[in-house]
């Protein structure tokens, strides 16, 4: 299936994460004039998680509605491994060879990063790989999803009542993150703030939209305010920008690594959930202009390499800091940002086309496979005539025929 506007959103998420890390390393995200904005660009992680929730849960929803077999567990896990492990392992090796670390950082800590366990053990910071905590949390979601999807799509036919009940459950998940973050902040267990329960709500945003979109297109749900919002994507993104500005204030906590108050931790989690929802929604019910901006050739390319930018950019940033003789909080955000961005894109492109895509094509036994898949599914869906007309670039968002 194909959702072209999501390609551009992947790039937005990767750019946001790169920018906030350059901001932190330069010090501008801690005490500069735009500290609030730069520090909160870690919202890119919430966008990534919401996209993953939508794309990975949606096939289960389609299978439930069509009464067909859901995705098989082993091929699903194989495909996830093919997508994320090659670049991850290369990044771990490069960080071990190229990035200065304390003597206390032994090979054991690099191994933890390679197998997604670093968020569960205490240890020194491994420079060049600190962003991978989110990948470890996402890997936990990958393992949970098949079982969670089975609970949500089994035991009952997809009636209107069943769909509404499941939407309510997914909405409840969005409240789990703020409760978890508030609790671990109050009890002084910051490491638990890296675990999946803290972010399950961001995945649930995408899962809820997947269920709503398929249910609405198939006639299981009646029109609602969301149908109006499909026609005004600029307004929805404007709401996201407003929430981001609020998050950039001290209401969402400090800009450095000091611990927030309970209220700040809860507020930040809630705001990021709302931002992720408002950023994602217009891309899953796209207007023609939305697809043109986010899903064209540039968006396709950026979406393909976005994972590589995410994985490699801290290593690239460290190399430029060494080259320029800069240390932590030395300033010069712009002098670090542009070389890091350009070089990260180049490294990510080389990784994708030279390593990641060939491995995925070999593992999937599909010589034409591409992450974004331009041209492979121009209708943007798995069941074109029955499920997904809204995802066609040439079709303006509108209720499917026959609904009243």
Residue 313 lies in a domain: yes
CA distances from 81 to 76, 205, 300 (A): 9, 23, 22
Q: Give pLDDT < 50 ranges for the chain.
A: 375-404
The predicted pLDDT at position 331 comes to 85
The predicted pLDDT at position 403 comes to 35
The predicted pLDDT at position 136 comes to 98
Q: How many domains does the chain have?
A: 1
Dist. CA 241–CA 236, nearest whole Å: 9
Residue 336 lies in a domain: yes
The predicted pLDDT at position 32 comes to 85
Residue 68 DSSP SS3: coil
CA angle 203-207-212, nearest 5°? Answer: 150
The predicted pLDDT at position 111 comes to 97
Residue 227 lies in a domain: yes
Q: 146 is written with which tokens?
A: 């098949």
65-94 core/surface letters (b: 16 or more CB in 10 A; e: else): beeeebbeeeebeeebebbbbbbbebbbeb
Range of the domain at 349: 5-391
CA atoms within 13 A on the CB side of 88: 21
Residue 396 lies in a domain: no
The predicted pLDDT at position 1 comes to 58
Inter-residue contact 27 to 330 (CB < 8 Å): yes
Dist. CA 381–CA 379, nearest whole Å: 6
pLDDT digits (tens, 9 = 90+) for 148-186: 999 999 888 999 999 999 999 999 999 999 999 999 999
Residue 24 lies in a domain: yes
The predicted pLDDT at position 392 comes to 38
* DSSP conformational letter for 367: T
* DSSP conformational letter for 81: H
Give the Cβ contact number of residue 158 at 10 Å. 19
Q: 299 is written with which tokens?
A: 């968006």
Inter-residue contact 212 to 167 (CB < 8 Å): yes
Inter-residue contact 284 to 380 (CB < 8 Å): no
Dist. CA 366–CA 360, nearest whole Å: 8
Dist. CA 6–CA 148, nearest whole Å: 23
Residue 399 lies in a domain: no
Query: Would residue 329 be called left, alpha or beta, if left means φ above 0 and alpha means ψ between -120 and 50 degrees?
Result: left
The predicted pLDDT at position 396 comes to 37
The predicted pLDDT at position 375 comes to 45
The predicted pLDDT at position 374 comes to 55
Inter-residue contact 314 to 37 (CB < 8 Å): no
pLDDT digits (tens, 9 = 90+) for 220-238: 888 889 999 999 999 999 9
Q: Is 291 exposed, middle or buried (0-12, 13-18, 19+ CB in 10 A)?
A: buried
């Amino acid at each position: 299936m194909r959702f072209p506007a999501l390609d551009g959103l992947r790039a937005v998420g990767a750019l946001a994460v790169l920018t906030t890390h350059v901001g932190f390393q330069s010090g501008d995200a801690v005490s500069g004039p735009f500290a609030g904005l730069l520090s909160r660009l870690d919202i890119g992680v919430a966008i990534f998680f919401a996209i993953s929730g939508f794309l990975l849960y949606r096939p289960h929803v389609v299978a439930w509605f069509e009464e067909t077999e859901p995705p098989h567990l082993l091929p699903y896990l194989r495909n996830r491994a093919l997508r994320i492990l090659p670049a991850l392992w290369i990044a771990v090796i490069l960080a071990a060879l190229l990035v200065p670390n304390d003597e206390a950082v032994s090979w054991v800590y690099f191994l933890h990063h390679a197998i997604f366990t670093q968020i569960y053990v205490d240890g020194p910071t491994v420079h060049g790989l600190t962003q991978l905590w989110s990948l470890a949390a996402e890997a936990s979601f990958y393992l949970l999803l098949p079982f969670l999807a089975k609970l949500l799509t089994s035991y009952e036919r997809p009636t209107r009542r069943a769909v509404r009940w499941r939407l309510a459950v997914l909405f409840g998940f969005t409240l789990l993150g703020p409760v978890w973050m508030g609790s671990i902040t109050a009890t002084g267990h910051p490491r638990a703030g890296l675990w999946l329960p803290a972010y399950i709500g961001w995945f649930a945003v995408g899962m809820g939209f997947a269920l709503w979109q398929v249910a609405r297109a198939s006639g299981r749900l009646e029109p609602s305010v969301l149908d109006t919002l499909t026609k005004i994507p600029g307004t929805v993104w404007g709401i996201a920008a407003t929430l981001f500005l609020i998050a950039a204030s001290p209401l969402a906590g400090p800009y450095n690594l000091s611990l927030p108050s309970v209220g700040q931790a809860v507020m930040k989690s809630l705001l990021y959930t709302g931002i992720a929802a408002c950023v994602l929604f217009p891309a899953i019910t796209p207007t023609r202009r939305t697809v043109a901006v986010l899903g064209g050739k540039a968006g396709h390319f950026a979406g393909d390499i976005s994972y590589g930018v995410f994985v490699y950019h801290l290593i690239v940033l460290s190399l430029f800091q060494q080259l320029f003789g800069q240390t932590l909080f030395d300033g010069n955000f712009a002098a670090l940002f542009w070389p890091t961005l350009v070089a990260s894109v180049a490294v990510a492109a080389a990784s994708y086309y030279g390593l990641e895509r060939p491995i995925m094509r070999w593992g999937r036994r599909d010589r034409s496979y591409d992450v974004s898949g331009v041209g492979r599914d121009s209708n943007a869906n798995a069941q074109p005539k029955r499920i997904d007309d809204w995802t066609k670039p040439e079709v303006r968002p509108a209720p499917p025929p026959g609904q009243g």
